[in-house]
Amino acid sequence: MGKTKTAIISGEPESQDPKDKKKRKEKQQKSQKEKKGVKVPGLKGGERVVAVSAEPSVEEEKKEKTTKKVERKAKVRSKKYIEAQAKVNKTKLYPLTEAIKLVKETSYSTFDGTVELHVVVKKAGISANAVLPHSTGKEKKIEIAKESTIKKLEKGKVDFDILLATADMMPKLVPFAKLLGPRGLMPNPKTGTLIKDAKEAKKFSANKINLKTEKKIPLIHTPVGKVSSKQKDLSENIEAVLKGIGKRQIVKAYLAPTMGPSVKLNF
């Protein structure tokens, strides 16, 4: 229950005569016995309760807000999506080759969509590396950290996809950890982006990717190619990612185009 408001209307001024006081007291006691409504102690003679209202308590307000959040409208899908989804059996685990064909068939974007692999793993915090045999369709810009790179970072400019650095440049990059870290661009030995010298940079593969779960959710997302990519290239890239994560760590895996339904893999 919330707070209760009581409206009271006063009558005529009370008489100070002891006999009148005694009569009023008897009348009030009789009235209170017959009254079935709300009892409010401390009413003076001639006063009566005319309205009782309640304000919602803090708990009730919180409950109401929670109910409103739950009552969300169902997501409305487009006609093209519904038609594409009808071709996919949600309960079936598709072999890799069949899944790729289905993803290509059900993609309805007017542009060359990206094929993405979504992997549910056993726990959050899992990370791994994988080298894809083929390009994912997006050309990655590799930069070796130097003084000009530091100047760009000071302005908050990041115009590269992969940053390589030698040990002597790392102390200069530390102040920009908050800028580079969330983007996965901070050089480190695990990803092979910490190199001995510029010559070693030539051996670095732009197709090497760092795989990690979302911060609090055991879910990994990564592009594996384009809808227009060859079936064999997509298949080999997907196998490389699954192997990099470790199939024992995987609970479920889905393949999906940028615009189109997901297909559950039998890995």
Q: For residues 48 and 60, which has the higher predicted lDDT (pLDDT)? A: 60
pLDDT at 39 exceeding the cut of 60: no
Domains and CATH numbers, the chain: 89-137+207-267 (3.30.190.20), 140-205 (3.40.50.790)
Query: How many angstroms separate the Cα of 155 from the Cα of each of 140, 168, 190, 191?
Result: 22, 22, 28, 26
**Lowest mean pLDDT: which of 10-24, 92-106, 177-191?**
10-24
230 or 138: whose pLDDT is higher? 230
Between the ranges 76-80, 93-97, 160-164, where is the mean pLDDT highest? 93-97
For the entire predicted model, the pTM comes to 0.62
Tens of pLDDT along 224-253? 999 999 999 999 999 999 999 998 999 999
- Residue pLDDT, tens place only, 121-131: 999 988 888 98
Contact 78, 100 (CB under 8 A): no
Mean pLDDT of the chain: 82
